C-alpha cells in the first residue's frame, strides 16, 4: 500500500508539472550545417506557463539523435542553467536550447564538430524537455522535431582543365575560369574565392600554393565564371630556348622546364564561403571548403615551332 501511495504521489507531481507548462518546438527542416550559425529563425522553443502564478524553476534538457536512434548529443544537466518563469510565454533561441559549451557530443560527431564546427550530413531528431534542477524529473512533455543536414558537393573546376596545355596566344590578355556550382543548391548566397599561383621552376604545385603569393585572389558572388584580365608579362620564348628545351628533354633532364624555357605553369583552386565569410560545406567534406587544385600550363613556343611534347610542369 505504501508503494502505491508513493507511485501516486509521483504521478500527481508529474501531471501537475505537465499541467503548468505547455511547450512548442520549432526548427527549420534544413538548417545550416554550422551549429554556431543557428539563430532564432532556425530554432525556437516556446514555454507557456498557464498556472497564473510564477512557474517552478527548471532546466532545458536537449537531445540530438539520428533517425536510426544513434546518440549524437545531450545536455550536461549538472552544468545546465536554471531558469525561472513568470506568467505567460517565454521564448528561447539556440543559445538556450543548444548551448554548445553544455552539450556532450559523442564519438564521430564530437570529432567532426571539433574539426569543422559542423555535424556530418544526415537526418536528425532534436528533442527538448523541461526537467527539475536537482533530480531531473520531467516538468513537461518531450517535444521532438526532425531536421536534415544536406550533403553538399563542392565546386569542381572545369576550365582550364587539370593538366591541360593552353596556347599562349589564347590567354595573352585574359583567362576564363569556370567551375560547377555547389550542389544541391543551398538557400543562402555563396561566395566563391578563386586563387591562382604560378608554379616556378623546380617547384611542385603544392609547393607553389604554400610558398608563393597568388597572382590572382578574388571573391566572386554567386556566379561560377570569372574572366581574368591579367597583367602578367606572358611572352613567347625564342628559337634558342626551344632548341635548348628539346636538347634537355632528350637528355633526360630530371626537372620540369617552366618559365625560363617552354611553358608557364599555374595552379588554381576555388574556395566556397558562406554569407558570413566562413568555409561552406558539411562535416563530411573538406572543412576549408577548397576544391582539389587544378594545374594548367601555357605553351610559350611560337606557332610553327611546336613539336609534340608532354606536360612539363613538375619533376619526373
Q: Per residue in 264-302, pLDDT tens?
A: 899 999 999 988 888 887 655 556 888 899 999 998 877
Domain 157-299 has CATH 2.60.40: yes
- Of 15-29, 160-174, 219-233, 243-257, the range with the lowest mean pLDDT is 243-257
Q: Domain map of the chain by residue range?
A: 2-149, 157-299
CB 132 within 8 A of CB 58: yes
* 263-273/157-159 β-pairing: unpaired
pLDDT tens sequence across 82-134: 998 887 889 999 999 999 999 999 999 998 888 878 888 899 999 999 999 98
The model's pTM is 0.65
Distance CA 38, CA 31 (A): 7
Strand partners, 127: 63, 144
CATH topology of 2-149 equal to that of 157-299? Answer: yes
- CATH code of 2-149, in short, is 2.60.40.2550
Rounded mean pLDDT of the chain? 82
Amino acid at each position: 500500500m505504501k508503494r502505491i501511495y508513493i507511485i501516486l504521489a509521483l504521478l500527481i507531481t508529474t501531471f501537475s508539472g505537465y499541467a503548468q507548462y505547455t511547450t512548442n518546438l520549432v526548427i527549420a527542416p534544413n538548417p545550416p550545417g554550422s551549429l554556431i550559425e543557428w539563430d532564432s529563425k532556425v530554432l525556437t522553443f516556446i514555454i507557456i506557463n498557464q498556472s497564473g502564478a510564477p512557474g517552478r524553476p527548471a532546466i532545458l534538457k536537449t537531445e540530438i539523435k539520428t533517425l536510426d536512434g544513434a546518440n549524437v548529443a545531450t545536455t550536461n544537466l549538472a552544468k545546465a542553467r536554471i531558469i525561472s518563469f513568470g506568467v505567460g510565454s517565454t521564448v528561447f533561441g539556440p543559445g538556450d536550447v543548444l548551448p554548445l559549451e553544455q552539450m556532450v557530443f559523442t564519438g564521430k560527431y564530437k570529432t567532426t564538430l571539433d574539426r569543422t564546427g559542423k555535424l556530418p550530413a544526415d537526418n536528425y531528431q532534436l528533442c527538448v524537455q523541461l526537467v527539475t534542477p536537482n533530480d531531473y524529473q520531467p516538468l513537461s512533455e518531450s517535444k521532438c522535431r526532425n531536421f536534415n543536414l544536406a550533403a553538399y558537393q563542392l565546386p569542381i573546376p572545369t576550365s582550364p582543365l587539370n593538366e591541360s596545355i593552353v596556347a599562349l596566344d589564347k590567354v595573352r590578355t585574359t583567362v576564363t575560369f569556370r567551375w560547377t556550382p555547389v550542389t544541391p543548391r543551398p538557400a543562402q548566397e555563396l561566395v566563391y574565392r578563386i586563387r591562382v599561383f604560378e608554379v616556378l621552376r623546380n617547384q611542385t604545385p603544392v609547393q607553389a600554393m604554400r610558398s608563393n603569393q597568388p597572382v590572382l585572389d578574388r571573391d566572386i558572388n554567386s556566379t561560377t565564371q570569372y574572366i581574368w584580365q591579367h597583367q602578367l608579362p606572358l611572352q613567347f620564348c625564342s628559337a634558342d630556348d626551344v632548341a635548348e628545351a628539346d636538347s634537355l628533354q632528350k637528355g633526360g633532364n630530371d626537372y620540369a622546364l617552366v618559365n625560363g624555357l617552354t611553358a608557364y605553369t599555374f595552379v588554381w583552386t576555388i574556395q566556397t564561403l558562406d554569407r558570413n565569410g566562413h568555409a561552406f560545406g558539411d562535416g563530411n567534406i573538406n572543412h576549408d571548403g577548397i576544391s582539389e587544385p587544378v594545374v594548367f600550363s601555357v605553351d610559350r613556343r611560337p606557332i610553327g615551332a611546336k613539336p609534340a611534347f608532354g606536360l612539363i610542369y613538375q619533376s619526373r
